[in-house]
Every structure is written in structure tokens, then in C-alpha cells.
Amino acid sequence: MATYIPAEAQTAVDKHWMRLALSMAQEAYDASEIPVGCVFVEQTEPGTPLHASTNGYGRMIAKSRNRTNELRNATLHAELEAIGQILREQDHKLLHRTTLYVTIEPCIMCASALRQVGINHVVYGAGNERFGGCGSVVPINDEPLLKYQKAYTALGGVFRDEAIMLLRRFYMTENSNAPQPRKKQTRILKTEIPPVPPTSRMHTPNGSVVPSPSITPTPIPPQTAHSTCPPDSPVPVSFTPTLENV
């Protein structure tokens, strides 16, 4: 079961780093990759989880985006690309006090890799209801059967709408890498964002977890869906079935 942070509980620290993750996702979009971006941030305030910090924003130790098409490697999701950077250039123990900010909930493969390297905490934007490894499908992050690997907490919902809209824009474009690209000229952008799935939980400001309330979707005008996308850029009508149902 995925756990989301309601808007009133999202901190300036969360928003600061998720904006950078979104900029990496935009870079992926511009390179015709599925627009997912991430940043790894070392906790610099002792004893305080990064997402709860009030005195410091932490220190970025890596940032990345999807590169699966560019490098012809299906495993090069944003998270694994960044983990590779860290393991090549820095002390792997940094990951034990690091928070990952990523625009889409890590898939099962990435969630497992994050647990194996000892990540401390994950904050994501939109859920991944087909392949999510942090509660939407399988709770790899805190599965008790994986007792030889340290569990980590994972919370979603920070700039969820922006992450969804960027993906919708991507799935409106023609895929030049596909054997038989689908024609998408007749597709129309969907701007209504659905509520957080009713099976999810909400993380309250005092740290407790409660069932998700009913949330009324609000339309997002196409021209404001993402500040770096032109208002007339191609954008999708139907969302990929491999990610959060939007």
C-alpha cells in the first residue's frame, strides 16, 4: 500500500529537491526518454531525517534521468544510473544517510536495488500502479521477509500533478525508437488529475498514517502543466498502463 504526503505536510526541503528531480525528468523528455528524473541527497543535519529537516537542505551527491533508449540498456532507469555514479565516485556508505527524490515511484527492480545499497528514505511524485516497488504493487522497501537488508521509508505525492502531466506530454509524442510507431495526431491532452488511489494511505504532519481521504480532481491548464514545456507541445490523451493510472 502506497503512502502519500498531503500538500499541507510537504516541506520546503521536499519541494526544493523534487523541483530538481523534475528538471532532470524534463531533460529526459527533451532527449525522447520516458521523463523520470531523480536526485540523491545526503542528510547533513545529524539525527533528523532529511524530509523533516528545518535547518538545512542537505547535499546532493548524484542526479540522473532515464537513459534506456540513449544507451540501449533497459536497466538504466534514473535511480540505477545515479547509484552507479555514487558507487564509482564516492563512498557507498553515504547512501545509508541519503534520501532519494524521484518523480515516479521506483519500480520493483529499482526499489530492490535501493534496499540492497542501504538507502535511508525515498520521496516520490506519482505512484506506479503496475510496477511500483514502494507499496503500489509490492512493498519491497519495507517487506519484512527481506530481513537481511535494511528497510527504508517511502512517501509519495510531492509535485504529483507535475510528474503526471510531464509523462502525459511524453506519451503524446511519436516514438522514433518503436518498430512500428503509433500515429498520435488525434490524441487530446487530458488535464484532469485523478485523486490519490483510495487504497493508499496519507502521512500526516505528526508522522501518523491514516487512510486516504476522497479528493476531488482539479484540471490543470495545458499551458501551466510544466513551466518548461511550450503550451502547444505534443501531450498525451491516454496514459501508459505501466505507471500510475492517470
The active-site residue out of 33, 79, 81, 129 is 79
Residue 2 has pLDDT above 50, yes or no: yes
Residue 193 confidence (pLDDT): 72
C-alpha cell at 182: 503509433
Domain boundaries, the chain: 3-224
Match 519541494 to its residue by C-alpha cell.
15
**pLDDT recorded at residue 196:** 74
Highest mean pLDDT among 11-15, 16-20, 196-200: 16-20
Catalytic status, residue 79: yes
pLDDT band per the 50, 70, 90 thresholds, residue 237: very low
pLDDT of residue 24: 98
What average pLDDT does range 153-172 have in this prediction?
A: 93
What Å distances lie between residue 124 and 72, 80, 175, 199, CA to CA? 25, 15, 26, 17
Pinpoint the alpha helices (H) of 31-134: 78-89, 108-117
> 54 burial class (0-12, 13-18, 19+ CB within 10 angstroms)?
exposed
The CATH number of the structural domain formed by 3-224 is 3.40.140.10
Lay out the sheet containing 201-203: strands in order across.
59-65, 37-42, 98-104, 121-126, 153-156, 3-4, 201-203, 209-211
Q: Please give the model's pTM, rounded to 2 decimal places.
A: 0.77
> What is the percent of the chain where pLDDT is above 70?
67
pLDDT at 211: 46
Residue 242 CB: number of other CB atoms within 10 A?
A: 13
